[in-house]
Amino acid sequence: MAIVERPRRLRATAPLRRLVAETRLNPAELILPMFVREGIDAPVPISSMPGVVQHSLDSFKSALQDAASAGIGGVMLFGVPVHKDAVGSGATDENGILNVATRAAVAEVGDALVVQTDLCLDEFTDHGHCGVLDAAGRVDNDATLLRYQEMALAHAAAGSALIGLSGMMDNQVEAVREALDGAAYSDTAILGYAAKYASSFYGPFREAVDSSLQGDRRTYQQDPANRREGLREARLDIEQGADVIMVKPAMSYLDVLSDVSAISDIPVWAYQVSGEYAMIEAAAAHGWIDRERAILESIVSIRRAGADAVLTYWATEVARSLNGGSLNGQ
């Protein structure tokens, strides 16, 4: 039997497989989400995310140095405040935990990493929603945009190089761009969470930020059933001046990520969210999957689908592995 094509030839050895690999990982394409908690003097483990902690300011600085030495691309900062209120006042307080942490990060590693900040009110509101509420208890889109503008200016003043707009309010990119440019922060970049879905995979994140959420976020985050809507949101963010756009979550939305990547002329990132992390860690802890292979395969799949960079809680660990170490740091 004459077999004309033999694709297996290029799979025969590890060097061959490495040589012809279509998708590669580089530490610079990885971004580490980090949680900094107010009022603690030692890191607090997050039970649903083994290996991830709420940092004290001291442990935060040490972790930043580790991330910088591993050569990752940047860090995305989330603040966990002691006090919350209806409008998320702590988000715009220059002495609020996120703004304090941002200044600390810039001072510590600002010349080595892109210091990015999450612009959303959910960590700071006593109701846990991503915006301010109207008299009927609904998220008021336009009133929230005013708070986002104030928050963006606070982040920029603290030194954030890139502000991640994760709230999914209509017109949030244009509103924030207008505020930044009007205050002479035209060099501060915007990451638009363009296609952010109302996902069950955010569960562990709620613990990570001590969420006070009452109800759900389905009136502003996207319906998981909708694919074309992700493209619509991406186009709007690009038109409004986003410098980078995001698909979130990643692994359950690789089709959306591929669609968005195909139409975007700006960088497209994806967020490998807390639930994705927790599932792999839990299965590996039970011996059901090979932890190292599953982690790398998951991130490669996100890059293969079109992400130019990936936010992942394994960023530092994977970067060390790519630099010749191993995923457990040994």
Q: What is the pLDDT of residues 274-321, one digit of tens each?
A: 999 999 999 999 999 999 999 999 999 999 999 999 999 999 999 999
Read out DSSP for 152-173?
A: HHHHHHHT-SEEEE-S--TTHH
Residue 190's φ and ψ, nearest 5 degrees, are: -120, 130
**DSSP-derived pairing of the beta strands 53-55 and 44-45:** antiparallel
Catalytic residue numbers read 196, 248
Q: Over 60: is that where the pLDDT of 329 sits?
A: no
Closest to 322 in 3D by CA, of 72, 16, 12, 114? 72
Q: What is the pLDDT of residues 133-176, one digit of tens each?
A: 999 999 999 999 999 999 999 999 999 999 999 999 999 999 99
Asked whether residue 272 is domain-assigned, the answer is yes
The pLDDT assigned to 283 comes to: 98
Q: Rounded CA gap, 226 and 196, in Å?
A: 11
Asked whether residue 13 is domain-assigned, the answer is no
| Tally of structural domains, the chain | 1
Q: Over 90: is that where the pLDDT of 132 sits?
A: yes
Q: Over 60: is that where the pLDDT of 238 sits?
A: yes
Q: Over 50: is that where the pLDDT of 214 sits?
A: yes
Q: Over 80: is that where the pLDDT of 330 sits?
A: no
Summarize the confidence of residues 107-129 as an average pLDDT. 96
| Residue that is written with structure tokens 């502000």 in the block | 163
Q: Over 80: is that where the pLDDT of 61 sits?
A: yes
Q: Cis ω on the peptide bond leading into residue 249 (within 30° of 0)? A: yes
HEC string of 186-236 equals CCCEEEEEEEEECCHHHHHHHHHCCCCCCCCCCCCCECCCCCHHHHHHHHH
| Residue that is written with structure tokens 């089709």 in the block | 255
Asked whether residue 10 is domain-assigned, the answer is no
Asked whether residue 1 is domain-assigned, the answer is no
Tell me what percent of the residues of the chain surpass a pLDDT of 90.
93
Q: Over 70: is that where the pLDDT of 328 sits?
A: no
The pLDDT assigned to 209 comes to: 87
Summarize the confidence of residues 261-268 as an average pLDDT. 98
Q: Over 50: is that where the pLDDT of 194 sits?
A: yes
The pLDDT assigned to 213 comes to: 83
Classify 91 as helix, strand or coil: helix
Asked whether residue 5 is domain-assigned, the answer is no
Q: What is the CATH number of the domain that holds 288?
A: 3.20.20.70
Asked whether residue 11 is domain-assigned, the answer is no
Q: C-alpha distances in angstroms, 83 versus 35, 38, 110, 166?
A: 16, 9, 28, 21
* pLDDT band per the 50, 70, 90 thresholds, residue 327: confident
Q: Rounded CA gap, 248 and 94, in Å?
A: 29
The pLDDT assigned to 326 comes to: 65
The number of residues in the chain equals 330
Asked whether residue 15 is domain-assigned, the answer is no
Rg value, the chain, Cα? 20
Domain range for 225 is 25-322
Q: Provide the sign of the torsion angle of the four alpha carbons 291, 328, 38, 154, taken in this order.
A: negative
Q: What is the pLDDT of residues 83-97, one digit of tens each?
A: 999 999 999 999 999
Asked whether residue 17 is domain-assigned, the answer is no
Q: Is 224 exposed, middle or buried (0-12, 13-18, 19+ CB in 10 A)?
A: middle
**Average pLDDT score, the chain:** 96
Summarize the confidence of residues 222-240 as an average pLDDT. 97
Host H or E run for residue 127 = none
